[in-house]
Amino acid sequence: FTGSAFGSAAIWQYESLKSRVQTYFEEARADWLDKIRPQKRGDFRKQVNSWWNNLTEGQRTVTGIIAANVFVFCLWRLPGMRRVMFTYFTSDPSSKALCSPMLLSTFSHFSLFHMAANMYVLWSFSSSIVSLLGCEQFIAVYLSAGVISTFVSYVAKMATGRFEPSLGA
């Protein structure tokens, strides 16, 4: 999984850089009339757009991860989703589904405090780590760390004989 994550991130990073270079040269050749964009309407939309544009690349990247974590957190609150959540969003070495929960449990939190603390820490160092690694490599590190830590959890559970499901990486 880790090899695939970093391989995909490298391809994504290359394509992103290629797209930025092409956009730069296209804008350099474009007439000034082509650069005029219609104004966005609505105060709320302008505020959201202004907030988004003031975020660093790292904060934009982590916003998606936080949104995924909040979405999964909300799914835990729906009684009809409990069975699916326990099957795919908890890590349990005795489960029939072993591989997908290794990744999906990375986004799973049952406690609001636990999720809020994790997302705060992620937000706090996102700008520096994304500027160091790049958005694509950061996501590969995040996903790989989640899968590897879940694997280590599987090994620890097998060694101790405790096969109860757990949340998170």
Looking at the structure of the chain, the number of domains it has is 1
**pLDDT over 90 (residue 71):** yes
Q: pTM of the entire structure?
A: 0.76
Q: What is the mean pLDDT of residues 152-156?
A: 87
* Residue 101 within a domain: no
* Residue 137 within a domain: no
First to last CA, the chain: 15
* Residue 99 within a domain: no
What residues make up the domain containing 18?
Answer: 1-37
* Residue 3 within a domain: yes
> How many Cβ atoms sit within 10 Å of the Cβ of residue 121?
10
Beta-sheet strands, E only, within the chain: none
Share of the chain above pLDDT 90, in %: 22
* Residue 25 within a domain: yes
CA–CA dist 10, 84 (Å, integer): 33
91 backbone dihedrals φ, ψ, rounded to 5°: -95, 125
15: amino acid identity, one letter? E
Q: Which residues of 62-87 are buried (b: 16+ CB within 10 A; e: fewer)?
A: beebbeebeebbebbeeeeeeeebeb
Residue written as token pair 């160092």: 125
**pLDDT over 70 (residue 169):** no
Tell me the per-residue pLDDT of 82-105, one tens digit each, with 9 for 90 and over: 888 888 888 887 777 778 888 888
48 vs 36, which has greater pLDDT?
Answer: 48
